[in-house]
Chains A and B, each alone.
Chain A
Amino acid sequence: MVRWEPLLQHLALFVLLVTLVSLVYNGLRRESVGEIVRVGLQRAAFFSVLSILIFGIGGWLLAEWL
C-alpha cells in the first residue's frame, strides 16, 4: 500500500531542490534576473518531470521485481 503523505513530501522537496539549483545554475553568464528566472523555471519544470518519470517508473518496476 502506498503511503501518500511521505511520498508527496519527498516529491515536493525534490522539485524544490531542482528548482533552486536550476535558478542558480542558469544565472551563470546571464545578466538579466528576469531572464534567469524565466529560463531557470522552464528548465526546472522540464528536469523535474523527466526525472520523476524516470525514477518513478524505474522505482515502481524495481519494487514490483523485488
Chain B
Amino acid sequence: MKTAQAPPGVKVFLGMILTWWFPGLGHALLERRHKAWFYFLLVSFTYIFGLWLGDFRDVSYENFGIYLLAQGFYAGATVPALLLTRGLELDSSLVFVDAGVLFTSVAGLLNVCVIVDVYETAYPRTSPPGRS
C-alpha cells in the first residue's frame, strides 16, 4: 500500500534503473544516504573481490557466458569489466577462478535485492515483517 508521502512513480523507476548500474544510487535519490553508501560499498566490494579472486578473468562471455546473466544485474561494474578484461585469457590454472565467478555472480544477484529495496523504501508495506 502506498503511503501519503510516497515519491512519484517516475522517481522510483529511475531509482531502480540507476541502482541496476550503481547500487545505492536509487536510495540516494530517495534521500537514504547511509543506506546508499552501505549498499554501494558492500555490493561493489563483493564484485571487485570476486574479480580479484579470478585474476580479472571471470567476467567473460566466452568462458563464463551463463554467469553473465547474474553478473549483468550490476551493469555498472560488468560492462567496464567486460571491456577492460576482454584481452585477458585463461591461459593457466587459477585456483580461485570458480570462487571469483561465484562472488561476482552473487554481487549481481545481491543487486537485485537492492533494486527491490528501492521499491520497498518508496512504498513500504503497512504490516511489519515477522522479525524480532
On A, residues with C-beta under 8 Å from B are 6, 10, 13, 17, 20-21, 23-25, 27-29, 31, 33, 36, 39
* A33/B124 in contact, CB under 8 A: no
Which chain A residues border B117 with CB–CB below 8 Å?
Answer: 27-29
A36 to B42, CA, bound (A): 12
A-side interface mostly: helix
Contacts of B87 in A (CB 8 A): none
Of B7-15, B63-71, B102-110, the one with at least 4 CB within 8 A of chain A? B102-110
Q: Name B102's closest neighbour in chain A (CB-CB).
A: A17
A-B contacts, CB under 8 A, total: 49
CB distance from B101 to the nearest CB of A (A): 12
Tell me the chain B residues, 38-56 only, with Cβ under 8 Å from chain A: 38-39, 42-43, 45-46, 53
CA distance A46 to B95 in the complex (A): 28
Is the beta-carbon distance between B35 and A21 smaller than 8 angstroms?
A: no
